[in-house]
Structure 1
Amino acid sequence: MKTVFKAVLIDDEKNSLEMLEWLLHNYCPEVKIEAMCESGESGIVAISEHQPDIVFLDIEMPKMNGFEMLEKIQDVRFALVFTTAYDQFAIRAFRYAALNYLLKPIDPDDLKSTIIRLKEKNSSPTREQMELLFQSLSPTQKQIERVALSTADGLVFVHTKEISYCRADSNYTHVILANGQDILVAKTLKELDDVLAGKDFYRVHNSYLVNINQIVKFVRGDGGYIIMPDNTEITISRSKKDEFFQLFAKF
């Protein structure tokens, strides 16, 4: 089979490296492993030497973790897949920047899906993605101001305050901006809810996530509904009514 990707694997745990090697060999034979590194320092050397198409990078490593390693690489010219045990803070950062990641223990189906996605759109992270990642990881960053949205054409970077509301559409979501622009995003509404949680966004209905600051009017009635800047009327779910009132009272 023709090799599609040259890969470098970086993880300080030998067992994790060997497991990823086994998974790639058995489920993704089109990926050729050029080097397996047990530290960020050796990973930098391997990347320079092999010029890989894809790098699988563990986050939690001693001396130099995955993020610190990336900061030392001047020009990221490879597709990047983070591997990590569950870390809510890091995962949210990946989602903000629309970056690939795999949770340990790595599921074969998730790995195959990631490789398929990279086949369709094999590109290195943009400068904006990397900046957004490091900003979201900064301990001094109180609130993320921008988010990367994955579309059929690539990535769209928007300020969260410019998002008026999000509407579910099966496995996709329509993100409606304050200027009326409709961006079809390759994410479910739940995934966007996870990203925008705690940033003035509220799930008023199974199909809608709204920016509280963008609400024009609240109309009382059977549960009530809200009116957004584009005159869209969004019903408030009965189960959300009391919680919504409490939240809205803070604004």
Structure 2
Amino acid sequence: MATITCYIVDDEPRSIRLITSMLKDDFPEIKILGTHTDAQSALMQISQFMPDIIFLDIHMPGMDGFTLLSKIPDYLPEIVFITAYQEYALKAFDVHASGYLTKPIHTEKFQTCVHNILNKLQLRKQQSNAVASRSNNNQWEQLGKIVIPIGKDSILTNIGDLIFLESLGNYTRIYLQDHAPVLVCKQLGKFQQELPETHFCRIHHKYLVALFQVLSFSSGPDLILLMNNGMRLPVSRRQKKQFFTAFDALFSIPK
């Protein structure tokens, strides 16, 4: 498995030293990209490094852990809250944290939490590899082409180049590989009728996604897809089962 990276944010240097020590002793495969006691400074480095895992305190001067988390760019890190307070566990669950550990840190609970995250990241990597391998064998080129009307003109593009389509009322914004998004005066439902249902799935009233462009999806009560262009899209609860059925039928990947 490729190197897993992490970042530690805690206003107590002693806590940072302890977490660092436990990671180095028990998880040498995890590379610590940095640590910081100041949340604002940490946010700048996290935005730059984009670590796989963030170990995050909640109560910190200037900016609390939840505020920091809300300002992180659109990617999907695994979040482990490590705090002296128990009352924020439900809020941590709402933001899809992978772990919530209270201080003083219990070694076995820390190890279990990190092991679970490593297993999740391994599965995500397998899913991404499966998508990549299928993207490289040219099978998407066999899907044919689609006409995209733009004003009085039309462009002919490969269906395999579509990433996802976004409904904007009577208009649809189309996100393509190696091309800026295109705004089209045509309803999303019309495109859905034209595209192969084996390869495209309506995950939300606003979004129609190309299943072969899904890199990974988050765990938690709300399903979030990470698309091939780095954007994150929500799957409505009504469409969650349909998404997994379509995704498994296309890739035969375990959830």
User: So what's the TM-score if we normalise by structure 2?
Assistant: 0.45
Q: Which has the higher contact order (CA 8 A, sep 6+)?
A: 2
User: So what's the TM-score if we normalise by structure 1?
Assistant: 0.46
